[in-house]
């Protein structure tokens, strides 16, 4: 039986993910979350999987009822890969960013 340290919430928000692969090139992905907790998230990857233990940078867009929102920036590591996505554990440190114009995501999910 699986036991989690924190409750997961079903929440789909845009996610901009970056990783540096073995060829030392930064790769960027535009995905969304399936669920999220204070300790991690499951990212729906549209068939693009990352290997377990891959270090990643995650930017999540949190919208408000007024239509404005903020980005939450954090580091994490892939802890599992499944056919529909990856499970990520966050490192516990995060930063709120009021806007991130360099991240070109469709925020109208």
- pTM of the entire predicted model: 0.82
Whether residue 40 is contained in a domain is answered as yes
Question: How far is Cα 92 from Cα 89, in angstroms, rounded to an integer?
Answer: 9
Element (H, E) at 92: strand 85-97
- The pLDDT > 90 percentage for the chain reads 59
Whether residue 22 is contained in a domain is answered as yes
User: How many domains is the chain partitioned into structurally?
Assistant: 1
Is the pLDDT confidence value at 22 over 80?
no
Question: How far is Cα 37 from Cα 75, in angstroms, rounded to an integer?
Answer: 14
Can you give the residue range of the structural domain that contains 88?
9-97
Residue 1, pLDDT score: 46
Whether residue 43 is contained in a domain is answered as yes
């Amino acid at each position: 039986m699986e036991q989690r340290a924190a409750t997961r919430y079903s929440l789909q928000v845009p996610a901009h993910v970056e990783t540096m692969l073995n060829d030392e090139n930064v790769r960027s992905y535009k995905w969304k979350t399936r669920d999220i907790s204070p300790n991690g998230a499951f990212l729906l990857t549209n068939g693009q999987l990352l290997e377990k233990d891959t270090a990643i940078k995650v930017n999540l867009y949190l919208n408000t009822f007024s239509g404005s929102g903020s980005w939450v920036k954090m580091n994490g590591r892939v802890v599992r890969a499944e056919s529909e996505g990856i499970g990520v554990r966050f490192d516990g440190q995060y930063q709120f960013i009021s806007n991130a114009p360099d991240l070109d995501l469709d925020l109208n999910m």
